[in-house]
């Protein structure tokens, strides 16, 4: 039964500290692993221009066609082959074409920064022509060079940043699955440069960027040259990582591990290191309120997923309202069952009281009783018959047939009753364990279901 899943998470049997939290952890880890495995192939996938055509991104295909047209043979090397003075012209032309292709309407600040970087790098680079494409992500040109050298495919060198760095970023926390995130790319670029500059605050967001990198870079390149002055302003703003930006970004992207630690309180109150970093999605508002609301909504939907697993028959249901309806029905039914059972217990057993009193007169014996289940259980079940209504009487009858420890008559009987009860309960609980249950069913008269 699924509840066992929850119970087994608990190492000690004392309570269920946070069963679904551990499941959270598992889920989150699974997600993280998934993310990690997803992103790396994505990035490597774009390594070759030829492969880029396979992507459905029109941008990519257009870019590749553009690249291949003005320059000769090998697309991968084509850009690299551009000579010095002609390079800027060609690249500007390409960028212009890209701009026409790119239909994304937002004027994101990233373009500013990219534009800034682009200019920087174009001026500085001679041999590494493809670094122009890499500029949005690598603001320090020297760093670009180093990265260029590392990657044979210059154009997509961005995606790797630097190979040793890349897996590191993969390992770092990733929260939202890859979808186009303009702001993410922006902050990613900034983060990367900040990272280079030994700022570790945006680490978690960096990894997140990589997913958006492939599609992001192209559109970044488009916008680069257009909003240079804005870019400068924004760049400084972001590069400083003012607290305001931190807060804006902080709410959004959950690094999953962070969220599991710092859940509801984390949004605005925590010190900078513990901020929850969130990325605004593409085409969405970026003010802090809507972002915070998005975070809240995502949290809610996550928890609803857990509830889906818990409530029987909710697998196919989607949507909050219907799910809530099911949950309400389920909780109501459980509560009604409790009421019904308590009523049943109240009516069924008038003599229960006395026995229970005797039962619990010795707590120690109760614990021992659990160990003596087998011995006492069999004869007890053998004696279930239409005897006297009085449970006590029947227990007396049974008690005489049973071997017992040194307890006097009444308490002996009650101890055995307690044994039986415990065994019954245990059997009921042990239904899932199968074989042991059947082993103790001596006479098989007792039918206990869960």
Partner 1 sequence: MHSASSIKQKFLKKWIMGLQLCNSSKKNMTIMERRKAIKLSADLALASVRNYTTRWSRALVASASQNDDNQALLQHIIGSDAAKHKKASINVVANSTTSVAKKIASKKILKRSWGIRRVRKLSNGALKDPPYSIAKRLVKKRTQLLKNLVPGGESMDAISLIEETLDYMVWLRAQVDVMRSLARASERLDGK
Q: Restricting to residues 280-339, which ones interact with partner 1 according to CB under 8 A? A: 296, 299-300, 303-304, 306-307, 310-311, 319-321, 324-325, 327-328, 330-332, 334-335, 337-339
| Least distance (Å) between residue 346 CB and partner 1 | 4
Q: Which stretch in 175-183, 200-208, 247-255, 391-399 sits in contact with partner 1 by CB under 8 A?
A: 391-399
Q: How many Å apart are CA 32 and CA 3, to the nearest integer?
A: 25
CA dihedral 8, 9, 11, 16 (to 10 degrees): -90
Find out whether 98 and 132 touch, Cβ atoms under 8 Å: no
Binding mask 217-256 toward partner 1 (x if CB under 8 A, else -) reads ----------------------------------------
Q: How many Å apart are CA 182 and CA 280, to the nearest integer?
A: 8
Regarding 26 and contact with partner 1 (CB under 8 A), the answer is no
Nearer to partner 1, 100 or 321 (CB): 321
| Least distance (Å) between residue 280 CB and partner 1 | 18
Out of 77, 201, 228, 424, point to the residue binding partner 1 (CB under 8 A): 424
Q: Which stretch in 171-179, 341-349, 371-379, 404-412 sits in contact with partner 1 by CB under 8 A?
A: 341-349
Burial class (CB in 10 A: 0-12, 13-18, 19+), 64: buried
Nearer to partner 1, 53 or 322 (CB): 322
Regarding 352 and contact with partner 1 (CB under 8 A), the answer is yes
Nearer to partner 1, 407 or 446 (CB): 446
The backbone torsions φ and ψ at residue 212, rounded to the nearest 5 degrees and listed phi first, read -85, 0
Nearer to partner 1, 140 or 430 (CB): 430
Residue 108 three-state SS: coil
Q: How many Å apart are CA 94 and CA 102, to the nearest integer?
A: 12
Q: How is residue 288 written in tokens?
A: 């802090």
**Distance between the two ends of the chain, CA-based, in angstroms?**
10
Nearer to partner 1, 107 or 429 (CB): 429
Find out whether 429 and 422 touch, Cβ atoms under 8 Å: no
| Least distance (Å) between residue 214 CB and partner 1 | 33
Nearer to partner 1, 74 or 296 (CB): 296
Find out whether 80 and 129 touch, Cβ atoms under 8 Å: yes
Out of 314, 359, 377, 415, point to the residue binding partner 1 (CB under 8 A): 359
Q: How is residue 367 written in tokens?
A: 């614990």
| Least distance (Å) between residue 357 CB and partner 1 | 5
| Least distance (Å) between residue 291 CB and partner 1 | 15
Q: How many Å apart are CA 60 and CA 418, to the nearest integer?
A: 74
Q: Which stretch in 44-52, 146-154, 401-409, 428-436 sits in contact with partner 1 by CB under 8 A?
A: 428-436
Find residue 147's DSSP bridge partners.
none
Regarding 348 and contact with partner 1 (CB under 8 A), the answer is yes
| Least distance (Å) between residue 247 CB and partner 1 | 18
Regarding 126 and contact with partner 1 (CB under 8 A), the answer is no
Round the CA-based radius of gyration of the chain to a whole number and report it: 34
Nearer to partner 1, 165 or 298 (CB): 298
| Least distance (Å) between residue 356 CB and partner 1 | 5
| Least distance (Å) between residue 25 CB and partner 1 | 14
Write a three-state SS string for 374-429: HHHHHHHHHCCCCCCCCHHHHHHHHHHHCCCCCCCHHHHHHHHHHHHHHHHHHHHH
Regarding 396 and contact with partner 1 (CB under 8 A), the answer is no
Nearer to partner 1, 91 or 373 (CB): 373
Out of 50, 93, 163, 389, point to the residue binding partner 1 (CB under 8 A): 389
Residues 365-384 that bind partner 1 (CB under 8 A): 366, 370, 384
Out of 53, 197, 269, 360, point to the residue binding partner 1 (CB under 8 A): 360
Find out whether 174 and 258 touch, Cβ atoms under 8 Å: no
Q: DSSP code of 137?
A: T
Q: How is residue 387 written in tokens?
A: 């005897």
Regarding 349 and contact with partner 1 (CB under 8 A), the answer is yes
Regarding 364 and contact with partner 1 (CB under 8 A), the answer is no
Residues near 96 by beta carbon (within 8 Å), at least 6 away in sequence: none
Q: Which stretch in 14-22, 32-40, 122-130, 405-413 sits in contact with partner 1 by CB under 8 A?
A: 14-22
Out of 37, 163, 428, 439, point to the residue binding partner 1 (CB under 8 A): 428
Q: What is the DSSP string of 59-78?
A: HHHHHHHHHHTTS-S-HHHH
Burial class (CB in 10 A: 0-12, 13-18, 19+), 338: exposed
Residues 71-90 that bind partner 1 (CB under 8 A): none
């Amino acid at each position: 039964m699924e509840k066992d899943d929850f119970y087994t998470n608990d190492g000690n049997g004392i309570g269920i500290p946070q069963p679904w939290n551990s499941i959270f952890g598992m889920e989150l880890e699974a997600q993280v692993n998934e993310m990690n495995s997803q992103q790396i192939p994505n990035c490597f996938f774009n390594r070759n221009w030829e492969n880029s055509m396979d992507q459905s991104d029109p941008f990519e295909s257009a870019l590749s066609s553009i690249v291949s047209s003005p320059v000769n043979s090998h697309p991968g090397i084509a850009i690299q082959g551009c000579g010095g003075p002609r390079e800027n012209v060609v690249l500007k032309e390409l960028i212009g074409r890209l701009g026409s292709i790119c239909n994304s309407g937002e004027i994101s600040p990233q373009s500013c920064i990219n534009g800034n970087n682009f200019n920087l790098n174009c001026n500085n680079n001679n041999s590494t022509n493809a670094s122009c494409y890499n500029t949005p992500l690598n603001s320090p040109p020297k760093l670009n060079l180093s990265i260029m050298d590392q990657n044979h495919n210059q154009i997509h060198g961005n995606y790797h940043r630097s190979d040793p760095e890349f897996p590191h970023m993969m390992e770092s926390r990733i929260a939202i699955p890859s979808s186009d995130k303009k702001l993410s790319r922006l902050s990613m670029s900034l983060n990367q440069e900040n990272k280079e500059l030994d700022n570790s605050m945006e680490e978690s967001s960096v990894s997140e960027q990589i997913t958006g990198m492939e599609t992001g870079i192209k559109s970044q390149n488009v916008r680069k040259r257009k909003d240079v002055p804005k870019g400068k302003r924004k760049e400084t703003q972001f590069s400083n990582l003012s607290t305001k930006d931190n807060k804006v970004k902080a709410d959004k992207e959950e690094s999953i591990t962070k969220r599991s630690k710092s859940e509801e309180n984390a949004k605005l109150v925590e010190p900078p290191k513990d901020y929850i970093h969130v990325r605004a999605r593409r085409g969405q508002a970026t003010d802090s309120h809507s972002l915070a609301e998005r975070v809240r909504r995502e949290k809610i939907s996550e928890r609803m997923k857990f509830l889906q697993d818990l409530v029987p028959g909710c697998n196919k249901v989607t949507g909050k309202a219907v799910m809530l309806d099911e949950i309400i029905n389920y909780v109501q039914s459980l509560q009604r069952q409790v009421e019904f059972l308590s009523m049943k217990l109240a009516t069924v057993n008038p003599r229960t009281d006395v026995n229970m009193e005797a039962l619990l007169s010795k707590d120690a014996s109760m614990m021992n009783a659990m160990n003596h289940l087998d011995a006492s259980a069999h004869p007890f079940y053998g004696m279930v018959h239409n005897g006297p209504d009085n449970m006590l009487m029947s227990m007396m009858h049974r008690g005489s047939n049973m071997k017992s420890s040194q307890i006097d008559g009444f308490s002996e009987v009650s101890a055995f009753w307690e044994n039986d009860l415990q065994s019954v309960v245990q059997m009921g609980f042990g239904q899932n364990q199968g074989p042991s249950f059947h082993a103790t069913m001596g006479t098989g008269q007792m039918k206990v279901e869960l």
